[in-house]
Amino acid sequence: MTYVGSRDDAPVKSRPFRSDLPPGIEQLRQAARKWTRISAGYDLGVRMLFGSFWRRWQDTVLPFTQGRVLEVGCGTGVLLQRLASRGDAVGVDISAGMLNKAAARLGKRGAGKLVRADAQRLPFKDASFDSTVSTFALTAVPDLNVALAEMLRVIRDGGRLVVVSVGNPESNSRLTRMATAIWRAAGDIIRDEAAALRNFGLRPSRRNFGPFGSIHLVVAAKSSARPIAAGTAKA
């Protein structure tokens, strides 16, 4: 299906991705408009602020991915391009502008692999991926628990959920807390993904790194011991 952009999000023209974003939800429309506005300069801004570190931080997920991979919040497709070079990878984002950038980056490899959708309502069947990943995206999602439940739902039993995110407010280090405050001031919603995953009955690992330990990698394997409730999925 080809998406035709709404006037609130992007110019009206054919889009090189499928859209499963439900219409009429103002909060989603506002988020989509925000990220589409900054999509043109997003990559340049990241390079100016973080240099090559951003890519290195994203790449920490690569050793933990396996099989068919879903990237939630794929943005302009920088990580998705590397995932696609390793195997079957699908990218989801709420922003038409970001997905257009991703489509240009992936070229023919991106055909049929980009979907406009909400992380809290993934349009995929249960157990349709071997891994789900998200880097620097879940801090923009209003309901972390719903997003994690959806990411777990679409993973096969034994598959992995891998997250790179920001913030470490539990640290005893003043510098780490200061760095976390900067991320929060930039608009990130700081939460503990590892603790949330433990509430699903999982045993996630967590490693802190980046500026003063304010970035973290969380990895969890899905277990059939505690099934994940299915959301509203499409074929």
Higher pLDDT, 235 or 163: 163
Tens-place pLDDT, residues 56-103: 999 999 999 999 999 999 999 999 999 999 999 999 998 888 899 999
Domain extent for 93: 3-221
Other Cβ atoms within 10 Å of 216 Cβ, number? 21
Q: Is residue 232, in this structure, part of any structural domain at all?
A: no
Tens-place pLDDT, residues 40-49: 777 788 788 8
Cα 88 to Cα 105: distance, rounded to the nearest angstrom: 16
What single letter denotes the amino acid at residue 204? P
Q: What is the pTM of this model?
A: 0.81
Percent helix / strand / coil, the chain, rounded to 5? 40, 20, 40
Q: Is residue 228, in this structure, part of any structural domain at all?
A: no
Tens-place pLDDT, residues 121-180: 999 999 999 999 999 999 888 899 999 999 999 999 999 999 999 877 667 788 777 777
How many domains would you assign to the chain? Answer: 1
Q: Can you read off the two tokens belonging to residue 209? A: 């790194």
Q: What pLDDT is recorded for position 47?
A: 83
CATH code, domain with 96: 3.40.50.150
Q: Is residue 230, in this structure, part of any structural domain at all?
A: no
In the chain, which residue ranges form alpha helices assigned H by DSSP?
26-50, 53-59, 78-86, 96-106, 144-153, 174-185, 193-198
Cα 42 to Cα 35: distance, rounded to the nearest angstrom: 9
Cα 92 to Cα 74: distance, rounded to the nearest angstrom: 6
Q: What pLDDT is recorded for position 219?
A: 96
Surface-to-core class of residue 43, CB atoms within 10 Å of its CB (0-12 exposed, 13-18 middle, 19+ buried): middle
